Amino acid sequence: GGMNGGGGMNGGGGMNGMRNTSHLNASTSSASTTTISSPSSSSVPPLKEGDQFIPSAILLKKSATQPPPRLSEKDLITKMESHGIGTDATVAEHVQKQLDRGYATKDPQNLTFWPTRLGEALISGYRKMGLDGLWLPDLRGKIEDAIRSVAEGRADKEGVLRQALRAFNEDFRAAQSRSQVLVEEMARFLPRQVGGMVGRGG
């Protein structure tokens, strides 16, 4: 009989009855959700459709996905370097600036970074506004690469400056025209602070 037979989970024999008498059809087993122990082995024996065997136990395991680990200071610096952001002399200043502005906090014990509600609100707002360049590292990396080119004599300072100003000016105008989206995200992540500002006419 199957799992719903006389010795199955819904039958009169209960789990003990299933342990002794139930058969599991190979075509209906699910290795991703069920762990099956056979009498002679801790793993599922080789089976083909239609084969049957007597399990000694059936255990259903429940699991959930886990968020990625928080960035450590070392990991953050490595990612900044991979995008060409900062130098040995300035990378610590870049990191500290994010902390000073309240975008993130750093756990003093394991040196991992956690976004604040303000940091989350800004990123969510920029994404909904279509302004990923304001928070993704690509634009900053390109600008710093252009600055290095100027320092090494491979690019013209005025030309690099014009390109950078043009890029930021476009983002600034877009942010102005879509500012309500950012206000709404701020209110969603920081309801008390934004509500108080609106109440005071801020």
pLDDT band for position 187 (50/70/90)?
A: very high
Same domain, 106 and 157: yes
Q: Are 73 and 106 spatial neighbours (Cβ–Cβ below 8 Å)?
A: yes
What pLDDT does residue 55 have? 73
104 and 164 together in one domain: yes
Q: How confident is the model at residue 6 (pLDDT cuts 50, 70, 90)?
A: very low
The span from the CA of 147 to the CA of 199, in Å, is: 44
Give the model's pLDDT for residue 44: 67
Report if residue 67 sits inside a domain: no
Residues 91 and 160 in one domain: yes
Contacts of 38 (CB under 8 A, 6+ apart): 44, 45, 53, 54, 55, 56
Both tokens assigned to 157: 């300072």
Whether 8 shows a pLDDT value over 70: the answer reads no
CATH label of the domain that carries residue 92: 1.10.460.10
Check residue 195 and give its pLDDT.
58
SS3 of residue 132 by DSSP: helix
Question: Does residue 4 form part of some domain?
Answer: no
Interior angle at CA 165, CA 92 and CA 103, nearest 5: 35
State how far the Cα of 1 lies from the Cα of 18, in Å rounded to an integer. Answer: 10
Residues 122 and 185 in one domain: yes
Kindly state whether residue 8 falls inside one of the protein's structural domains: no
Give the model's pLDDT for residue 65. 86
Residues 78 and 45 in one domain: no
Number of domain units in the chain: 2
Task: Say if residue 84 is in the same domain as residue 177.
Answer: yes
Q: Are residues 18 and 102 in the same domain?
A: no
Interval 34-49: pLDDT, tens: 444 444 445 667 888 8
Flag whether 7 is in a domain.
no
Q: Is residue 3 included in any domain, yes or no?
A: no
Average pLDDT of the residues in 146-156 = 92
Answer yes or no: do 98 and 184 share one domain.
yes
Pair 36, 111 in one domain:
no
Q: What is the extent of the structural domain holding 97?
A: 73-199
Average pLDDT, the chain: 78
| Residue 188 shares a structural domain with residue 95 | yes
105, pLDDT greater than 90: yes
Residue 96 sits at φ, ψ, to 5 deg, of: -65, -35
Residue 93 in this model has a pLDDT that exceeds 80: yes
Residues 50 and 85 in one domain: no
**pLDDT value at position 25?**
42
Question: Which of 154 and 45 is assigned the larger pLDDT?
Answer: 154
pLDDT of residue 197: 52
